[in-house]
Chain A
Amino acid sequence: GDSVTQMEGPVTLSEEAFLTINCTYTATGYPSLFWYVQYPGEGLQLLLKATKADDKGSNKGFEATYRKETTSFHLEKGSVQVSDSAVYFCALLTPGGGKSTFGDGTTLTVKP
């Protein structure tokens, strides 16, 4: 079945550091790929998405590129802020509107 593997956390960075959270997937067909962010005690917020190979999703300084050849969707940000501290989930959506499959989540802590 479909699966998503995320870089293990937690990740601790200093403010203004460069962030990479790795994500690889296994799926049949061509899924859509997503990054969600979850702040403590809150719901899932869609951070960015990409629906086909070579698409780049971007939002709030975060970027991720859909790499079909490496089945990856790594999240990057050039300069993190304390307010970026949260749990980040990589997810795929089965083509045709099926279920979402999530990675285990990566906890990011940014220190001033």
Chain B
Amino acid sequence: AAGVIQSPRHLIKEKRETATLKCYPIPRHDTVYWYQQGPGQDPQFLISFYEKMQSDKGSIPDRFSAQQFSDYHSELNMSSLELGDSALYFCASSLRGAGADTQYFGPGTRLTVL
């Protein structure tokens, strides 16, 4: 079965640079979620989109922005990168319109800021 796809899988950036992470949800899923997992930490919710509209917002820094496109894929844009942004970024998708009771997680993008 198709799973959530994230790209790139690994990304290395310098401080103050920008990064764009992409997420391709499971086909027909209408909701995308972004999570950040720092070293030794549990995943923290950043933001979610339902039917291309932002539906919930967590602890996402103002330097980050995200959107969901007409084909339901989502991009997380991160600017003015800081060392503390080094983390594993997960995307998850669900079919909220059908009363989703499970989020399916992608493999994550490991971002390293030098």
* Chain A interface, number of residues (Cβ within 8 angstroms): 21
Q: Is B70 an interface residue, CB under 8 A from the partner?
A: no
Q: Any chain B CB within 8 A of the CB of A81?
A: no
B13 contacts the other chain (Cβ, under 8 Å)? no
Give 1 or 0 for each of B82-101: 1 = CB within 8 Å of chain A CB.
Answer: 00000010101010100111
How many A-B residue pairs have C-beta atoms within 8 angstroms? Tell me: 56
Q: Known interface pairs A98-B56, A100-B35, A103-B42. Does A46 touch B90 (Cβ–Cβ under 8 Å)?
A: no
User: Does B107 belong to the interface (CB within 8 Å)?
Assistant: yes
Instruction: Tell me, yes or no, whether A29 is within 8 Å of chain B by CB.
Output: no
Contacts of A44 in B (CB 8 A): 43, 90, 105, 108
- With beta carbons under 8 angstroms apart, the residue of B31, B42, B43, B105 that contacts A97 is B31
A104 B99 Cβ-Cβ under 8 A: no
Q: Is B103 an interface residue (CB 8 A)?
A: yes
A105 and B42 within 8 A (CB)? yes
Residue pair B45, A99 in contact (C-beta under 8 Å): yes
What residues of B have a CB within 8 angstroms of the CB of A100 in the complex? 33, 35, 43, 45, 92, 103
Given A51-B101, A89-B42, A43-B107 contact (CB < 8 Å): yes
Q: How far is the CA of A46 from the CA of B44 in the complex (A)?
A: 17
Question: Can you list 27 contacts pairing A with B, beta carbon distance less than 8 Å?
Answer: A32-B101, A36-B105, A42-B107, A43-B106, A43-B107, A43-B108, A44-B90, A44-B108, A46-B102, A49-B101, A49-B102, A89-B42, A93-B101, A96-B96, A97-B31, A97-B50, A97-B96, A98-B48, A99-B48, A99-B56, A99-B58, A100-B33, A100-B35, A100-B43, A101-B45, A102-B42, A104-B42
Q: Write the residues of chain B forming the contact surface with A, with a CB cutoff of 8 angstroms.
A: 31, 33, 35, 41-45, 48, 50, 56, 58, 88, 90, 92, 94, 96, 99-108
Pick the 7 closest A-B CB pairs, nearest first: A97-B96, A102-B42, A43-B107, A99-B45, A97-B100, A32-B101, A43-B108
